[in-house]
Homo-oligomer: A and B are copies of this chain.
């Protein structure tokens, strides 16, 4: 197939003929079986080299029932978080010798996720990674065949499937505490869309941290992750004089909020402290540089692959829930109240 439709590629028998052995011996060499005489192995390898032979994946998959391919379902890989997670997954998968087949969805509904999953299982992938930041995606996981290895990434508390996720709660709690410890009486919050598990996790942790500290819990505002929605939230908050600290659920919205504050003449961090979440590469160069929470997406990718391969290899998946820590990055957008 490599070189196409017309001229046939060399097959194992061709190599065997050149090396003067049977095709099965070639197979043994390729698969690293013992009990092949060293001189034979060398002849075979030489023949492989000479013919530029490459093993046919389809034939191998047909007989072994394994494709060495993992399926990935992702959502809007244009966003920094999903893109980074995908990147981490891809690196780890290739390192482990697996191919990756990807479906990215424009919208997450039961239906689109179901479609994607059956599309990939139809391709006979050996396992599935579902970057499932929304409730609907996690629910759709129930539909995958029970013997198909699956990992839900950012899947909150998926009922039955192994999950790998960033410690949203710890990250949100840390940033909220950071603001309280600076001396702010309370912390406002602009959340992400509530059907996103990450948004929910950050909101819950923010709320319980405030309660635990005995602080008043203001009504949260709700955005959709976009800079525009952060801008709109910023316009609302800029009008109030009881706002001295805001925890925004992601950096993009924080950017919009910063702009609204600037337009309204609200100084950051002089008058109001602002913190974000994600630590996108731009965050350090916002005006002012944004205090935020860094997520180690590469680690999430690695751990996801590792958990998935454990399942595929039939090894016990001791930890059905892997949590990757998040770290606070303090920059110039947070300070003591004026």
A192 in the interface (beta carbon within 8 A): no
Top 3 nearest A-B pairs by Cβ distance? A58-B61, A1-B124, A4-B147
A121 contacts across to B, CB distance below 8 A: 2, 54
Residue in contact with A228 in the complex, picked from B65, B104, B285, B286, CB distance below 8 Å: B285
Measured in the bound complex, the distance between the Cα atoms of B262 and A91 in whole Å is 38
Residue in contact with A285 in the complex, picked from B103, B119, B145, B227, CB distance below 8 Å: B227
Among A148, A230, A282, residue most surrounded by chain B Cβ atoms (within 10 Å) = A282
A84 in the interface (beta carbon within 8 A): yes
| Contact of A256 with B285 at beta-carbon distance under 8 Å, contacts A3-B148, A6-B147 already known | yes
A56 in the interface (beta carbon within 8 A): yes
**B100, A102: Cβ atoms under 8 Å?**
yes
Residue in contact with A1 in the complex, picked from B100, B104, B126, B282, CB distance below 8 Å: B126
A106 in the interface (beta carbon within 8 A): yes
Residue in contact with A61 in the complex, picked from B1, B104, B226, CB distance below 8 Å: B1
CB nearest neighbor in B for A1: B124
CB nearest neighbor in B for A125: B1
| Contact of A87 with B58 at beta-carbon distance under 8 Å, contacts A1-B124, A147-B6, A281-B226 already known | no
Measured in the bound complex, the distance between the Cα atoms of B101 and A99 in whole Å is 7
**A57, B227: Cβ atoms under 8 Å?**
no
CB nearest neighbor in B for A118: B54
A123 in the interface (beta carbon within 8 A): yes
CB nearest neighbor in B for A259: B285
0/1 string, A67-84, CB within 8 A of B gives 1: 101000000111010011
Measured in the bound complex, the distance between the Cα atoms of B2 and A104 in whole Å is 20
**A145, B282: Cβ atoms under 8 Å?**
no
Task: Please state the number of chain copies in the assembly.
Answer: 2
0/1 string, A106-129, CB within 8 A of B gives 1: 100000000000010111111000
0/1 string, A245-288, CB within 8 A of B gives 1: 00000001001101100100000000000000000011011110
A5 in the interface (beta carbon within 8 A): yes
Measured in the bound complex, the distance between the Cα atoms of B119 and A230 in whole Å is 43
**B287, A227: Cβ atoms under 8 Å?**
no
0/1 string, A213-233, CB within 8 A of B gives 1: 000000000000011101100
CB nearest neighbor in B for A65: B1
A173 in the interface (beta carbon within 8 A): no
- Tell me, rounded to whole Å, the shortest Cβ–Cβ distance linking A164 to chain B: 19
Measured in the bound complex, the distance between the Cα atoms of B252 and A3 in whole Å is 41
**B100, A101: Cβ atoms under 8 Å?**
yes
- Tell me, rounded to whole Å, the shortest Cβ–Cβ distance linking A296 to chain B: 13
| Contact of A124 with B58 at beta-carbon distance under 8 Å, contacts A83-B77, A104-B87, A227-B281 already known | yes
CB nearest neighbor in B for A234: B285
A103 contacts across to B, CB distance below 8 A: 90, 94
Among A5, A281, A285, residue most surrounded by chain B Cβ atoms (within 10 Å) = A285
Residue in contact with A287 in the complex, picked from B102, B145, B262, CB distance below 8 Å: B262
Which of chain A's residues 111-161 have a Cβ closer than 8 Å to chain B? Answer: 119, 121-126, 145, 147-148
Given A3-B147, A228-B285, 4 other A-B residues pairs in contact with their CB atoms under 8 A: A3-B145, A58-B62, A94-B103, A100-B102
A124 contacts across to B, CB distance below 8 A: 1-2, 56-58
